[in-house]
């Protein structure tokens, strides 16, 4: 027996007994507002599309306003480095974003991991469109050159984005504009 359900029976097409709600979620939201679990095999096209959907939802939580005008923005967190966001030109249905940290170096500021993300506003998906060619961190450099197949490369880049977005949200980063009270 499922907790929260009463026993019911159908006799001649009529429900007898008392049924409780089958919904176990107190606040039901649309499926496009939930972070998706990967119910498909990792490394597959279906799984990659699910990852794109999950990244979109996480970016929506980070950005607040998805259809933001082009410009430069900085998110500050007590637990993390300042996160730099560049919203580049897009169209009615797409936006191009660049997310990075800036590190001081003798040659000037170095952007890392420097991910360019394309948001598809109509399809509600986000994918890594580019990743900087030069990487200071050895693990990121090794990961970037690990895969030969395009599908595997996209999986790796978008998993990095997904994990990084989790980290950013857990550490209080946001670009959401709060209303004055």
Q: What DSSP designation does 32 have?
A: G
Helix (H, G, I), strand (E, B) or coil at 171: coil
- Mean pLDDT across the chain, nearest whole number? 76
Q: Where are the domains of the chain?
A: 41-170
* Spacing of C-alpha 123 from chain mean position: 14
- Residue-wise pLDDT for 110-127, tens only, equals 888 889 999 999 999 999
Q: Which residue has the higher pLDDT, 174 or 112?
A: 174
Give the pLDDT band (50/70/90) at residue 133. Answer: low
């Amino acid at each position: 027996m499922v907790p929260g359900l009463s026993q019911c029976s159908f006799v001649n097409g009529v429900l007898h007994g008392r049924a409780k709600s089958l919904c176990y979620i107190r606040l039901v939201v649309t499926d496009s507002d939930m972070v998706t679990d990967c119910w498909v095999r990792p490394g597959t096209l279906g799984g990659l599309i699910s990852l794109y959907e999950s990244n979109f939802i996480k970016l929506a939580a980070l950005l607040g306003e998805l259809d933001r005008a082009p410009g430069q923005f900085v998110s500050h967190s007590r637990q993390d480095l300042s996160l730099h966001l560049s919203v580049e030109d897009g169209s009615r249905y797409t936006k191009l974003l660049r997310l990075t940290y800036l590190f001081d170096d003798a040659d000037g500021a170095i952007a890392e991991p420097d991910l360019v993300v394309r948001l598809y506003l109509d399809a509600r998906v986000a994918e890594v469109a580019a990743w900087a060619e030069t990487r200071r961190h050895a693990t990121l450099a090794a990961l970037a050159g690990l895969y030969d197949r395009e599908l595997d490369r996209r999986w790796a880049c978008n998993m990095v984005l997904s994990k990084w977005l989790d980290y950013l949200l857990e550490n209080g980063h946001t670009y959401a504009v709060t209303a004055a009270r």
